[in-house]
Amino acid sequence: MVRRVSVLLIIAVGVMMVCSCAYASPGGPVVVPEASACVLAPVGIAAIIAAERHRRRARTVRQQISVFYLAAKRAIDFALASFVLLVTFPLFVGIAAVIRIDSPGPILFRRRAMGKGGKLFDMYKFRSMVDGAESILERDEQLKKEYYVTAKLKTDPRVTKLGRFLRKTSLDELPQLINILLGNMTFVGPRPIARDEVDLYGPAIEQFKTVTPGITGIWQTCGRSETSYATRVEMDLQYIEKRCILLDLWIIVSTVPAVLLKKGAF
């Protein structure tokens, strides 16, 4: 298709040059005659139409790939989340029991996060902090400032002893498998954005609204909590632009050693 358009344009330019030379007056300006225009106009229009058809076909192919990608991604999410939940169910029950014994408060922590299309949903995690941790953060200006710069607190006084272990091993995120089954989250995607973090993203927030947030992503395989907040956002934007099934599978496989080695976790 591109070759055909190029040939049409070359023919048009050739016809124009020949006709122009034939009608040029010695020493005077070159005048493009009506004959040249009559030939050039249809050829030029044909080239434009051909290019537009090529663009539309390319867009159709991209849309078909997008539909296939989303369908395959959802199938992988549902199958893998169901399998992992089934296998880890005894661990699930054991962690819940230990949390109940370790400190007062609910077993699960729910946080409002922004999902696809800007819709808010409850993101589930095993509670790793003391009950009322959010109010403690609001009262401590120093902690609050550090949190809004890095979105993580390296030394967080609100975290329980059991909570430190759960975070280090990423076991606190097991309940997010429920979010995947509900369709609120996916295995691979940008980190979930809390409601109070939306303003930090500026205009880029619109790009994040086009995708479903994930449990893991590029930044989780490249340093996790040691990665700066700005770098995490940049990595998530790169994922949004380049996402595909192969990239998703690579991230899932790369996440396993990162979690087992506790790389960058605190």
How far apart are alpha carbons 153 and 146 in whole angstroms? 7
Q: Is the pLDDT of residue 96 over 70?
A: yes
Identify whether 66 is part of a domain.
no
Find the domain containing 47 and state its range. Answer: 2-55
pLDDT bin (cut points 50, 70, 90) of residue 25 is very low
pLDDT tens digits, residue range 187-199?
A: 999 999 988 788 8
238's enclosing H/E stretch is: helix 229-242
pTM for this prediction = 0.69
Check whether residue 231 and residue 112 sit in a common domain: yes
With contact defined as beta carbons under 8 Å apart, do 168 and 115 qualify? no
Tokens of 146: 């550090």
How far apart are alpha carbons 43 and 164 in whole angstroms? 71
Mean pLDDT within 212-217: 94
With contact defined as beta carbons under 8 Å apart, do 153 and 229 qualify? no
Q: What pLDDT does 259 receive?
A: 79
Check whether residue 45 and residue 96 sit in a common domain: no
Tokens of 254: 């790369």
Indicate the number of domains in the chain.
2
Check whether residue 224 and residue 179 sit in a common domain: yes
Identify whether 81 is part of a domain.
no
Identify whether 75 is part of a domain.
no
With contact defined as beta carbons under 8 Å apart, do 178 and 78 qualify? no
Pairwise pLDDT comparison (256 vs 79), residue with the higher score: 79
Check whether residue 175 and residue 248 sit in a common domain: yes
Tokens of 182: 């509900």
Check whether residue 47 and residue 105 sit in a common domain: no
Handedness of CA 29, 33, 39, 45 (dihedral sign): positive
| Cα-to-chain-centroid distance, residue 155 | 29
pLDDT bin (cut points 50, 70, 90) of residue 30 is very low
pLDDT tens digits, residue range 135-176?
A: 666 666 666 666 655 556 666 777 888 998 998 888 999 999
Check whether residue 45 and residue 153 sit in a common domain: no
Check whether residue 248 and residue 139 sit in a common domain: yes
Check whether residue 123 and residue 243 sit in a common domain: yes
Identify whether 118 is part of a domain.
yes
Q: Is the pLDDT of residue 116 over 70?
A: yes
Angle at 110 between CA 109 and CA 115, to 5 degrees: 140
Check whether residue 132 and residue 231 sit in a common domain: yes
Closest CA to 208 of 228, 234, 183, 182: 234
Q: What pLDDT does 166 receive?
A: 93
